Structure 1
Amino acid sequence: MQDLTIRPITGLEELDLFNRHPYTLNHELADDLAAGRRHPSWMWMALRGDRLLARLAWWGRDKDDDPFLLDILDLEEGAVDVAVRLLRTAMAETLPAGGRPPEYLRFVPPDWRETDRRAVEDRMAVLESTGARLFVERLRLEWRPGTPIHEPSGRLSFRPVRDENELLDLMTEVLDGTLDAHSRDDLTHMSPREAAVRHYEDEIARYTSPRAWWRVATLPGGEPVGFVTPGRNDYNAIIGYIAVLPAHRGNGYIDDLLAEGTRILAAEHVPRIRAATDLGNTPMAQAFARAGYVNFERSINMTWPD
């Protein structure tokens, strides 16, 4: 039997080899490498001869020096031990010493427990061997052109977000009673304002679309009841952040907000609108379903302890 080789790819010329394991992100990897969101040194393989037994890759935001997410991990059936060696070797060579490894995120079929359970659980077992644990399962949602958009109810008015400080104030306020797992985790070790700033800087501020699309919903007297930040990331049009302020929850305003955000993006003739919410955030999941968003995938998010 040939020896096992564990190494990063040498460059774009090995992308076909790396992509022998099928995955929904494979078609994005060349562009990610060109844009600097990935680097060959972040993309590792376990090979026996020219047979790809396992692979992994990290992703980073533009100009990041270190990986932000581990979002690719694939292995042949029965190759869990090989994948564990691959992960341990790659983490030791790639990640800063002493820090918390980046979160793992994997897209899976919406019915993965019936159709893909073995593969998903094998990947989770590899990660668990290094101390990772399941953090949250999320719904990935998609609105498609031609899906009806709810007409305005007339209960709310919408205006652009005035400035960054107004949005941060609103983001801080909606963390009271949030059902979002990432936000709840942030609040265990930082203030609501710090959590809002972190979310803004890590995600919303990085949109490649006009900030003029962001909307605040108000009552007839001008009192804000919520906000929505439709935008574009590096891949899709998205409903980035949508929330109702605590004092106004339970009145169905989320439907008006979601329809407004969808309407803004649909007017740009986008091929799809993507969104996501935690599996356990039932009110938000139901709002997306009422708006015609389809649950086309889920994601498995795993983290390592501090």
Structure 2
Amino acid sequence: MITSPKPVIDTFTEGDRHRVVTLWGECGLTRAWNDPDKDIDRKVADSPWGFLVLRLGNAIIGSAMFGYDGHRGSVNYLSVHPAHRGKGYARLLMEHGEALLLARGCPKINLLVRTGNEQVIGLYGQLGYVPDEVVELGKRLIKDD
């Protein structure tokens, strides 16, 4: 009997860069105004412990960036390759990231989901996330063009 490899959560390494950027594109996470390589550089410089990849054999099929500023935790770039969705891999990444944040004393995690992404909003709802009574505001300090 041949068994399939099990996914493994690992910390991002520089050798993962191209595969992670490709994954983000395949998942529809990249935007013209965000350079994914610069986002990776910023994350690695700030808190590499929170940059997770989900490996399946030699492939990277998922990723997430977790951070903690001493007040709130955050998650960005949560992704699972479309061919591997519905298998609990997003839940696996979130549970691992939440454990990392909890170990650092993080009392709460906030996350952003683009308006209209009902499937992802539903996923987070299943994981216990609820809308907060807040208004999200943003201001671009560095243009990535």
Q: Compute the TM-score of the two structures, normalised by the length of structure 2.
A: 0.71
Identical positions, percent? 21
RMSD value, Cα: 3.0
Task: Give the letter for the 2:55 counterpart.
Answer: T
Q: Deviations over 1:211-239 (max 9, x none)?
A: 133222123x3532101221224753211
CA contact (8 A) 1:232 1:238 kept: yes
* Matched position secondary structure for 1:293: coil
Residues 1:159 and 2:10 are matched in the alignment = yes
CA contact (8 A) 2:10 2:54 kept: yes
- Equivalent residue for 1:173? 23
Consecutive unaligned residues in structure 1, runs of 5 or more: 1-154, 188-193
CA shift at 1:204, angstroms?
A: 2.7
Quote the Cα distance in structure 2 between the aligned partners of 1:239 and 1:302.
Answer: 19
CA contact (8 A) 2:113 2:120 kept: yes
Residue 216 and residue 200 in structure 1: after superposition, are their counterparts in 2 closer, same or farther (change >3 A)? closer
Q: Deviations over 1:232-264 (max 9, x none)?
A: 247532113211124323433211111111121
Quote the Cα distance in structure 2 between the aligned partners of 1:238 and 1:293.
Answer: 12
- Equivalent residue for 2:50? 213
Q: 1:280 aligns with which of 116, 125, 136?
A: 116
Residues 1:295 and 2:135 are matched in the alignment = no
Quote the Cα distance in structure 2 between the aligned partners of 1:283 and 1:298.
Answer: 21
- Equivalent residue for 1:223? 59
Quote the Cα distance in structure 1 between the aligned partners of 2:137 and 2:73.
Answer: 22
Quote the Cα distance in structure 2 between the aligned partners of 1:295 and 1:244.
Answer: 23
- Equivalent residue for 1:204? 43
CA contact (8 A) 1:161 1:214 kept: yes
CA contact (8 A) 1:159 1:217 kept: yes
Quote the Cα distance in structure 2 between the aligned partners of 1:302 and 1:269.
Answer: 28
Consecutive unaligned residues in structure 2, runs of 5 or more: 1-5, 141-145
Q: Compute the TM-score of the two structures, normalised by the length of structure 1.
A: 0.37
Structure 1 ranges of 4+ moved more than 4 A: 300-303
What is the number of residues matched between the two proteins? 134
CA shift at 1:265, angstroms?
A: 0.8
Greater Rg by CA: 1
Answer 1 or 2: which has greater strand percent: 1
